[in-house]
Amino acid sequence: MRCAAFRYNVPMTADQHWLARARALAELGRYTCSPNPMVGAVIVRDGRIMGEGFHARAGEPHAEIHALRAAGPRARGACLYVTLEPCCTHGRTPPCTDAIIAAGIARVVVGTIDPNPAHAGRGLALLRQAGIETLCLNDRTCAELNERFNHFITTRRPFVHAKWAMSADGKIAPATGSARWISCPESRTYVHKLRAEYDAVMVGIGTVLADNPQLNVRLEGTWRQPTKIIIDSHLRTPANAALLQGAPTVIACARAADPSHADALRAAGARIIALPGPDDRVDLPALLELLGSEGITSVFVEGGAALFGSLFAAQLVQRATIIIAPMLLGGQSALSPIGGPGVPTVEAAWRLTDVTITSCGVDTILSGRVAYPRSPRPSSSAVNAASTAWPSDNDASDGPSAPGNRHRIPPCSA
């Protein structure tokens, strides 16, 4: 069954046309380039492509270098289109700005400025100093392409993406607790592709005990396997849990009550991290700080309700994707997706912005950025003190925010 996403068609200028080609190339690195951003580049002269490329893996040449090598001497006097401002510092590879200047490129058009504080605006400034014309289109789709990188490079915390499947009446499982399978096969394949994009996948201990998930990417071909993270405050993960097989597994606990069980988990390959927080629970902000310091730039969270409740309450989730199945489960005691106390009023709700709606098999997939209300300003008025201020469309953030139903997540291709 064909899966489709809604999107707008807007007439393009020549610059936008070639930048769209660069964006398509950048997408080729979606599953391989982390922790680096996805970048595509196209070199054009007289309306013809002289060379193009994309960044595939950290440590390998950047998109601009691939494009320059493909163009060779034809790059002189041409225009370079690149989705992200070229780097100007020496990391795993030399700065791209040096190569662009040496190749004789006459004009550089970028989709967005690099949010990395070490690069932001400096790359274009160096190119202008060398006599190269530069233009930034401030393209939203280029920014959306790297929402995970943009968040991590500016906060040093991993980008957190919460995903759940639920019935049309908002239940993640019937009252009996059996949740397999709410989503259709096409949606489950799509989730595996999403899982493959992330550095780590996270679940709570309730999900481990109820479902015994594997949390790996099970698709044809060779795929990068994310690190598995279990939030298990009291270290109840069975030593024979399915997810202990394969990729590295991290168990975050508040305390290890049984040293012998902890030893058994380590013997099974798990790494145990004790991060005690309030109420004898795992300190989730501290965990994200630790993961970021170890190079984990993104985390895909797959449940359950208690973990979602804690993450949303701490305002740690940046994106939510909800798979809605065309079924009704009912039941007053059936679980809802987000546990915990929730919000006190509708005005204080966590809202989704930049929402996309995608069909996948018989399911509907809704995805959006999570916007949290600001803390109210001090006021002597109880009414004013209870009011909630929301960010305006012009407020700066670590990612794009605009109304409309625009395509961000890759469409379901099952």
Residues labelled as active-site residues: 64
Selection from 398, 318, 325 nearest residue 366 by Cα: 325
Tokens 């794009």 label which residue?
Answer: 400
d(CA 298, CA 222) in angstroms, rounded, equals 20
**Three-class SS state of 392:** coil
Contacts of 294 (CB under 8 A, 6+ apart): none
Provide the CA 314 distance to its chain's centre, in angstroms: 18
Q: Are 269 and 251 in contact (CB under 8 A)?
A: no
Structure tokens at 57: 């893996």
d(CA 80, CA 116) in angstroms, rounded, equals 21
**Three-class SS state of 59:** coil
Given CA atoms 265, 271, 276, 281 in this order, what sign does their dihedral have? negative
Helices (H), 298-402: 305-313, 382-386
Selection from 158, 220, 151 nearest residue 189 by Cα: 220
Quick count: other Cβ atoms within 10 Å of Cβ 144?
21
Structure tokens at 1: 């069954």
Phi–psi pair at 355, nearest 5 degrees = -75, 135
Tokens 């394969």 label which residue?
Answer: 246
**Three-class SS state of 70:** helix
Burial of 394 (0-12, 13-18, 19+ CB in 10 A): exposed
d(CA 200, CA 44) in angstroms, rounded, equals 38
Sheet holding 200-204, edge to edge: 270-274, 249-253, 227-231, 200-204, 298-301, 159-167, 319-325, 363-371, 351-360
Strand partners, 319: 161, 369
